[in-house]
Structure 1
Amino acid sequence: MKGALLALIFLLELAMLAAAGWWGFTLDAGWSVRLLAGLGAPLLIAVVWGVFCSPKAGVVLPAPAKLAVQAACFVTGGLLLALAGQPVPGAVLVALWALDKALLTHLGDPV
């Protein structure tokens, strides 16, 4: 069960990055702005995740702060997906992450 939940959370992390890219590439702007946003938004989220949330994070945060950063990343991904015209998938992304995180926490997995 725990392995499946960890696999799901990894796939949700990839979906979060894809959502940020989708938002950038669907902006009603010039090609250069769409390219910058479509590549820059997922890159920014990935850097924040890598620095604060990854297993080998450069900055070790207390569990509540790490959870807050993770939540902020997923809410951002969900909001960007909603802004790209996909509010239901955006809400599902955030809800699935919250449910998966709650189940992992219940099973004793550290934040």
Structure 2
Amino acid sequence: MTNAPQSPVDWGEVPPPTDPAAPRRRVSAWTVLRAVVCAFGLFSLAFWGYWSWILPWPGYLFAVGAPLFAAVVWFLFRSPRSPIETDVVGKVVVETALVIAAGAAWLSIGRPVVGLVFVLVAALSGVVAFRRETA
């Protein structure tokens, strides 16, 4: 049918429809480790906020506020869809600061071994992620 009705808006090239039977992108073990590290980092900040304060209301405030602040900073400067363009050095600085903050949270609670293991695993997953991004 050559004379089918056309839209008055020029859409340009229309991408071909996706095949539902096509294989999905595979999720690697490094991607899963990266997600676990991010989730544990947010949990670490929430746990620190809850246990570091004697009165209950500052504890609740920091238990919600610290991971929320870290998530917003990560979204603004580090995420793949961040609205602020950041170069590689800026991304490394932001991620290093967030990992050190979560590790220091465990240190201030009195669990330095957990903080050290977290920092080492996060550093390993961060190096692998940056190598994949820049390759």
TM-score, normalised on structure 2?
0.74
Determine if the alignment matches structure 1 residue 56 to structure 2 residue 85.
no
Greater helix share, structure number:
1
Gaps of 5+ in 1: none
Distance 2:64 2:114 in 1: 20
Gaps of 5+ in 2: 1-26
Matched residue, 1:83 = 108
Matched residue, 1:30 = 55
Indicate the percent of aligned positions where both proteins have the same amino acid: 27
Distance 1:92 1:83 in 2: 15
Determine if the alignment matches structure 1 residue 10 to structure 2 residue 35.
yes
Distance 2:51 2:126 in 1: 29
Matched residue, 2:66 = 41
- Alignment: residue pair count: 110
Matched residue, 1:65 = 90
Distance 2:118 2:53 in 1: 23
Bigger relative contact order, structure 1 or 2 (CA pairs below 8 A, ≥6 apart): 1
TM-score, normalised on structure 1?
0.89
